[in-house]
Amino acid sequence: MSAPVGDIGLIGLAVMGQNLILNMNDKGFTVVAYNRTTSKVDDFLANEAKGTKVQGAHSIQELCAKLKRPRKIILLVKAGPAVDSFIQQLEPYLEAGDIVIDGGNSHYPDSIRRTKELEAKGLLFVGSGVSGGEEGARHGPSLMPGGSNAAWPAIKEIFQKTAAQVNGEPCCDWVGETGSGHYVKMVHNGIEYGDMQLIAEAYDILKRGLGINESEIADIFTTWNKGVLDSFLIEITANILKFNDDDGVPLVTKILDKAGQKGTGKWTAIAALDAGTAVTLIGEAVFARCLSAIKDERVRASKVINGPQRDAFRGDKQQFIDDLEQALYASKIISYTQGFMLMRETAKELNWNLNYAGIARMWRGGCIIKSVFLGDITSAYEKNKDLESLLFDDFFNKAVHKAQPGWRRVIAQACLWGIPTPAFSTALAFFDGYRSEVVPANLLQAQRDYFGAHTFRVVPGKENSRLPKGADIHINWTGRGGNVSASSYSA
Ligand SMILES: *[C@@H]1O[C@H](CO)[C@@H](O)[C@H](O)[C@H]1NC(C)=O
Ligand SMILES: *[C@@H]1O[C@H](CO)[C@@H](O)[C@H](O)[C@H]1NC(C)=O
Ligand SMILES: *[C@@H]1O[C@H](CO)[C@@H](O)[C@H](O)[C@H]1NC(C)=O
């Protein structure tokens, strides 16, 4: 057999795989393509990949034989057992230092496990988030690789050239250890849920609150897309709202209001609960989809439960629209603040060294949440990589202060109208909690001690002989008997 020519191999010739191969080929790399159904390989070479440098392989052995050392093989197969199965099939043909890259939608605990398993065998593993859909894969995705640190120098050039570029910078950098690439991709998807929900709430307020139609709302989004909200999702929202069916009616109004989900938003919310981090906006975005899904029950409820009378808006419409823009912006700042808090907490727990400026930079282009805003987050973490939260950054601190009055007016008005704003409202509630020196958790602690003897600590400066400093104190609240102990109840 001749000397290996392949820079990288790719397994899984569905649309994402094909597009990524063609993209890497355009960037000057020789890709070796493999699919379990080998006729797919021939089809691909004879059609989409015709006239390119792409090589085909008809067996795993041939794939590995065609690759230069250290071998780099991307798996773009269904997340789950298929990934483990291909890793197993590859192993006999791999040598120390070879790199297996999982570019699928794997859950990060699997990537943590696979990194350990492969490293124990002298191989390297990379779990890479790939975002941007088919279009991104073909012309420049956002790539979020993490895993065996030693793999990065070997894949860096291919990954950074293949990724989307913003102002000459690639939307790809090394995320960190073990499962961090897939973790960051998961948080990205959660944030995407949040951004979409915020936009949907703004649309609802404009439509049912202000009573304006889709074409006017499209114009508002088009205007917003020139300001602080400039982003892919705002842009496509304007396009969607302008899109009419053949009868001239906005097509969006004919779409059943039951949202689906594939689970990455839910994973983020679960990860947040596990980490004990208040990622409330993504949580509300997931729950809003759940509520949307029970359409039939909502229809029945709408017949028997009345909201407030919704009078025509009598205030200054343009002022209200400007307020709404600020409400959307401020809520978005909170959502990203929460997302980065979650990553920080997890990094601490799992001993990952995450590069937050790099993560924001990776999301600036190529993916669904791409926006100008992410450039500002990049700058915030470039200025201070240990930033406690985005709200401590000067730029974002000023932005939320400026947005605050309009943000409050919008939520207050939506409440009076009876229009649900779970994402806007939870963002504001988080904001008000986060900036509160004192929250009512003192009462929670008292309740927990009253019924469950869970004990509490005393406020520094308020100590006395009954309330000693630094001790776990239990008070006999009722003066009645009972030997209630913390183990009898838990709350
Ligand atoms: C093979 O290609 C088909 C599409 O052509 C794709 O659906 C499938 O996931 C690929 N599978 C593997 C394991 O290569
Ligand atoms: C939407 O509202 C604007 C302003 O009131 C009006 O000019 C336009 O005809 C309306 N479009 C539709 C499709 O009703
Ligand atoms: C609580 O106080 C009452 C009245 O002083 C006393 O009888 C009881 O034993 C105390 N209970 C505990 C658990 O200390």
**To 10 degrees, the CA torsion angle through 197, 199, 203, 205?**
70
Cα–Cα distance for residue pair 153/268, rounded to 1 Å: 29
* Any atom of ligand 3 within 6 Å of the Cβ of 485: no
Cα–Cα distance for residue pair 157/170, rounded to 1 Å: 10
Judged against a pLDDT cut of 60, whether residue 354 lies above it is answered with: yes
| Residue 484, pLDDT score | 54
**Tens digit of each residue's pLDDT (9 = 90 or more) over 181-194:** 999 999 999 999 99
> Active site includes 192?
yes
| 3-10: average pLDDT | 95
Structure tokens at 71: 């071998």
CB 100 within 8 A of CB 37: no
User: Residue 473: beta bridge partners?
Assistant: 456
**Tens digit of each residue's pLDDT (9 = 90 or more) over 368-419:** 999 999 999 999 999 999 999 999 999 999 999 999 999 999 999 999 999 9
Coil vs helix vs strand at 33: strand
Q: Which of 28-32, 43-47, 257-261, 432-436 comes out lowest in average pLDDT?
A: 257-261
Judged against a pLDDT cut of 80, whether residue 101 lies above it is answered with: yes
Judged against a pLDDT cut of 50, whether residue 488 lies above it is answered with: no
Contacts for 116-120: CB closer than 8 Å, 24+ residues apart: 116/178, 117/87, 118/87, 118/148, 119/148
Q: Is the pTM here over 0.95, yes or no?
A: no
Cα–Cα distance for residue pair 151/252, rounded to 1 Å: 45
Percentage of the chain beyond pLDDT 90 is 94
Q: Tokens 């004192």 label which residue? A: 438
**Residues in the chain, how many?**
491
**Tens digit of each residue's pLDDT (9 = 90 or more) over 207-248:** 999 999 999 999 999 999 999 999 999 999 999 999 999 999
What's the 286 CA to ligand 1 centre distance in angstroms? 30
| 196-210: average pLDDT | 97
Give the containing element (helix H, strand E) for 56: strand 55-56
Relative to the alpha carbon of 14, which ligand is closest?
1
Question: Which mutation among 454, 455, 476, 483 tests ligand 3's pocket best, with the greatest number of atoms within 8 A of CB?
Answer: 476
What's the 478 CA to ligand 3 centre distance in angstroms? 8
Cα–Cα distance for residue pair 104/280, rounded to 1 Å: 27
CA–CA–CA angle 289, 293, 295 (5° rounding): 130
| Residue 288, pLDDT score | 97
Judged against a pLDDT cut of 70, whether residue 481 lies above it is answered with: no
CB atoms under 10 Å from CB of 62, counted, come to: 17
Q: Which atom of ligand 2 is nearest to the CA of 212?
A: 2
- β-pairing, 142-147 vs 124-131, is antiparallel
| 241-265: average pLDDT | 94
CB 33 within 8 A of CB 56: yes
Residue 227 phi, psi (nearest 5): -115, -145
What's the 40 CA to ligand 1 centre distance in angstroms? 8
Cα–Cα distance for residue pair 26/9, rounded to 1 Å: 15
Between the CA of residue 364 and those of 136, 200, 356, what are the distances in Å?
13, 22, 13
Average pLDDT across the chain, whole number: 95
Sequence-distant (≥ 6) Cβ neighbours of residue 67 within 8 angstroms:
4, 6, 7, 8, 9, 32, 73
| 143-171: average pLDDT | 97
Percentage of the chain beyond pLDDT 70 is 98
CB 325 within 8 A of CB 226: no
454 labelled as ligand-binding? Answer: yes
CB atoms under 10 Å from CB of 165, counted, come to: 15
What's the 13 CA to ligand 1 centre distance in angstroms? 5
- β-pairing, 176-177 vs 142-147, is parallel
CB 201 within 8 A of CB 413: no
Out of 40, 66, 72, 185, the active site residue is 185
Judged against a pLDDT cut of 70, whether residue 486 lies above it is answered with: no
| Residue 260, pLDDT score | 85
Going by alpha carbons, the residue nearest to atom 3 of ligand 1 is 14
19 labelled as ligand-binding? Answer: no
Question: Which mutation among 207, 212, 215 tests ligand 2's pocket best, with the greatest number of atoms within 8 A of CB?
Answer: 215
**Tens digit of each residue's pLDDT (9 = 90 or more) over 287-328:** 999 999 999 999 999 999 999 998 889 999 999 999 999 999
What's the 447 CA to ligand 3 centre distance in angstroms? 18
Residue type, 428: L
CB atoms under 10 Å from CB of 163, counted, come to: 28
Give the containing element (helix H, strand E) for 143: strand 142-147
| Residue 2, pLDDT score | 72
Please provide the distance, in angstroms rounded to a whole number, between the alpha carbons at the two ends of the chain: 68
| Spatial CA neighbour of 189 closest among 57, 62, 52, 335 | 335
Q: Could you tell me the pLDDT band of residue 491, with boundaries at 50, 70 and 90?
A: low
> Active site includes 185?
yes
Coil vs helix vs strand at 124: strand
Going by alpha carbons, the residue nearest to atom 4 of ligand 1 is 14
